[in-house]
Structure 1
Amino acid sequence: MLDVVVIGGGAMGSAAAWRLAARGRPVALLERFAPGHTRGASHGASRIFRLVYSDPGYIALAQRALPLWRDLEEASGTAVLDITGGVDHGNQAVLAALSEALEAAGAPGKWLAAEEAADQWPGLRFTDRVFFHPSSGRVHADRSVAALQQSAAGLGAEIHHETPVEAITVRGDDHVEVVTAGRTWHARRVVVAVGAWSAKLLDGLAPLPPLRVTEEQPAHFPARDDAIAWPSFIHHLGDDVYGLATPGEGVKVGRHGGGPVVDPDARDFAPLGDTARRLRDYVREWVPGVDADRPAPISCTYTSTPTMDFVLDRVGPVVVAAGFSGHGFKFTPAIGEVLADLAIDGRPAPARFALNGKLSRT
């Protein structure tokens, strides 16, 4: 019998397998699709990394993730995190709350006048003062998942792709049965980190808040001048917009959430006409450093909770990781530690994480 079977080979499941294997636990990772697939939320070349939150729990989780990203790079020999600095602009009350929270967490940022920010980042347009944080940047998603799995395997974890799970059955407090087409797995614990498929696979096994699965379509826009610098950026408009440079692909810009609800097994990946038009209109007005008329659309899923907070929980021998709501990737290696803690000890280690009730329901 294994100690843990991890179901889901995206970012969170792969991170859990890495951290469990690092503790010497016999673990197997089962992934439904082939390596590098584009069906979920962990593919592509770029995700924003940032400490910038108004919630101290998220700041603490990002602070823990930063050195773990570096540990992953060292373990795998793969560069995954680039620090570029990041800017937040728009709603001044929101920016003030972010600034205050980071100051309290010992990670202050810096205020810049709109003119100063425009001089530094001429590819963006600003109309009011800007909040700059030097620790922001980008994480390469595809490389990260591959590096996590490589590092887990190097520590003894079994990695199985194209292995869809057909059933999970709890046989006792320390026994879970996981059925795939070719094998029945037995383990003391199971970690379920399957993104958009969470409600389907966990039905009857663990209580979940309502999970809204949407198809999101950001796009890469070609830069007009490859020599100019790009920070990661968030524009707080109520309907927030994010962006960052993706080397070799352009500048990625997208609206945070708001895409149509989809069944993850019935996506057609077709361009969303009105969504694409609204994004081009935004880019034309606020991102003058790119060509707004030449987007290369991207498609991914968000699995969102009503509060946009994560579900990190354990029910008996079943550990749940769900509802990352379009902003979880930056925390990936730290989430892996939380899931390992839950699987082994039943709760996150309080000395390691200043988690609040929003981040974990345990």
Structure 2
Amino acid sequence: MAGRSEVLVYDVAVIGAGVIGSAAAYQIAKTGLKVVLLEQFDVGHTRGSSHGGSRITRHLYNTDYYTKMTIEAFPLWEQVEKESGITVYRKTGLTQFAPKGSKTVDNLLAIMKQFDLPVSVVDAKEAKDKCPYITVPDNFVGVFEEDAGILATSKCVTALQNVFIKSGGKLLDCYPITEVVPGNIVVLKSSTKEVIRAKKVVITVGPWAKKFLELLGLDLPLRTVRNESLFWEADPLPDNGRRNFNIIIVSDGEDTDGCYMIPEHEYPGLVKISYRSKYGVEVDPDARDAKVTQDGIEITKKFISKYCTGISTTPSVVEPCIVTKTPDNDFIIDKHPIYNNIIIGVGFTGHGFKLAPVVGKILCEMTMDLPLSYDMTPFAVNRFGK
């Protein structure tokens, strides 16, 4: 108890140990600053957005500023793999199908050309080569990216946390923060733990962002939405079929817009076929399972009946996941409009996982008041008039 009276002040406290918070904490700890990463639940919990077995990673994006970020994300994930000794990326390739002449295809091709990224065009007849379970109409065309693949979700978070600790960081789980007192030294109070003090604070609380930021006077138009990851039994494939099996996205402008299929990865004999996060039911993150609907499953069944063969009609595994959406589907990465030493990274809208190492780097730059690597205009907190 002799040292108990000494007040420990961290250089940086990161609140929320999902993939974004873990990536930010890792980047900041590498600079030599004293960093603490705080998580309200057990490490490895499944109540938020950073769990499960698979997320898609790719360069194919319909927005140039995200494509630019993906170019850096791939080597940063590779660096995390090397430093942690954990393999998190599996290369599969990805093909996105849409009707010929659609804005989806034209825009993807234009952006990939802008950044000189290799893609090829696949016609409907070649769809079976890319995914043996998919048949698309003759008027569809696909954009194929060879380097796209799967990120092993929970392994990614573990790898980031391991290299964070290796870099001198401190991870405290079961450490809920219930009050934030701004100042030159920010005071973080917990209902069950000791007070934490830090010169800078990074807030990466995922689905709890709207609730949490209200503690700091911000009322942001964030929606917390429950989605389901759905896994379906599929007919066995020959070896060449398994080798050639791409991730597939089909966008047809109807209810099936943006449904996707991921090859067998986390469950033997099951493929992941799910709807994009534009669907789902709004929930309270502390009562995620209070409102459960069959809408997403029905949308996915419609996709399967329309485009798939060799797939069961009922999902074998249903895994809930909650995402935090902004009205424009862009992230919020910015300093608090009043408190310059509080940095915010929230609202990743179901497509931020792949970019976590880049977002972590940006949050590190903001924390250290360094020049930013990217134009952050699309991510400004005040774009909503708050």
Instruction: Give the TM interval when normalised to the shorter protein.
Output: over 0.9
Unaligned runs of 5+ in 1: none
Matched residue of 1:293: which SS?
A: coil
Q: Residue in 2 aligned with 1:57?
A: 65
Please state how far the C-alpha of 1:221 moved relative to its aligned partner.
1.0
- Residues 280-338 of structure 1: CA deviation (Å, up to 9, x unaligned): 23223223242232431111011000000000001211110111001010101111101
Structure 1 residues 47 and 158: alpha-carbon distance in aligned structure 2, compared to 1, 3 A threshold = same
Task: Report the Cα distance in structure 1 between the residues aligned to 2:218 and 2:207, rounded to whole angstroms.
Answer: 16
- CA contact under 8 A between 1:65 and 1:333: conserved in structure 2? yes
Equivalent residue for 2:37, pick from 23, 29, 40: 29
Percent identity at matched positions?
30
Structure 1 residues 21 and 203: alpha-carbon distance in aligned structure 2, compared to 1, 3 A threshold = same
Q: Residue in 2 aligned with 1:255?
A: 275
Task: Report the Cα distance in structure 1 between the residues aligned to 2:330 and 2:310, rounded to whole angstroms.
Answer: 33
Q: Residue in 1 aligned with 2:46?
A: 38
* Alignment pair present for 1:157 and 2:172: no
Please state how far the C-alpha of 1:233 moved relative to its aligned partner.
2.1
Q: Residue in 2 aligned with 1:213?
A: 224
Task: Report the Cα distance in structure 2 between the residues aligned to 1:348 and 1:300, rounded to whole angstroms.
Answer: 35
Matched residue of 1:358: which SS?
A: helix
Structure 1 residues 232 and 199: alpha-carbon distance in aligned structure 2, compared to 1, 3 A threshold = same
Q: Residue in 1 aligned with 2:3?
A: none
* Alignment pair present for 1:232 and 2:244: no
- Residues 165-199 of structure 1: CA deviation (Å, up to 9, x unaligned): 11111023xx2111122211111111110111011
Please state how far the C-alpha of 1:247 moved relative to its aligned partner.
1.5
- CA contact under 8 A between 2:335 and 2:344: conserved in structure 1? yes
- CA contact under 8 A between 2:19 and 2:353: conserved in structure 1? yes
Q: How does 1:324-339 map to 2 (within 5 A)?
A: 324-339=348-363
* Alignment pair present for 1:203 and 2:214: yes
Equivalent residue for 2:155, pick from 118, 137, 143: 143
Please state how far the C-alpha of 1:206 moved relative to its aligned partner.
5.9
- CA contact under 8 A between 2:54 and 2:152: conserved in structure 1? yes
Based on CA coordinates, which of the two structures has the bigger radius of gyration? 2
Equivalent residue for 1:303, pick from 317, 324, 340: 324
**Equivalent position amino acid for 1:176 in 2:** V
Please state how far the C-alpha of 1:361 moved relative to its aligned partner.
5.0
Please state how far the C-alpha of 1:279 moved relative to its aligned partner.
1.6
Matched residue of 1:203: which SS?
A: helix
Task: Report the Cα distance in structure 1 between the residues aligned to 2:365 and 2:296, rounded to whole angstroms.
Answer: 40
Q: How does 1:13-24 map to 2 (within 5 A)?
A: 13-24=21-32
* Alignment pair present for 1:276 and 2:297: yes
Q: What is the TM-score with the length of structure 2 in the denominator?
A: 0.88
Task: Report the Cα distance in structure 2 between the residues aligned to 1:209 and 1:300, rounded to whole angstroms.
Answer: 21
Q: Residue in 1 aligned with 2:311?
A: 290
**Equivalent position amino acid for 2:341 in 1:** P
Equivalent residue for 2:120, pick from 104, 110, 118: 110
CA RMSD in angstroms, aligned pairs only = 1.8
Matched residue of 1:37: which SS?
A: coil
- CA contact under 8 A between 1:209 and 1:306: conserved in structure 2? no
- CA contact under 8 A between 1:124 and 1:289: conserved in structure 2? no
Matched residue of 1:215: which SS?
A: strand
- Residues 131-178 of structure 1: CA deviation (Å, up to 9, x unaligned): 101121110010000110011001110001111111111023xx2111
Structure 1 residues 40 and 246: alpha-carbon distance in aligned structure 2, compared to 1, 3 A threshold = farther
Task: Report the Cα distance in structure 1 between the residues aligned to 2:49 and 2:206, rounded to whole angstroms.
Answer: 7
- Residues 342-361 of structure 1: CA deviation (Å, up to 9, x unaligned): 1111x6523xx3x3521355
Task: Report the Cα distance in structure 2 between the residues aligned to 1:225 and 1:118, rounded to whole angstroms.
Answer: 15
Unaligned runs of 5+ in 2: 1-8
Q: Residue in 1 aligned with 2:345?
A: 321
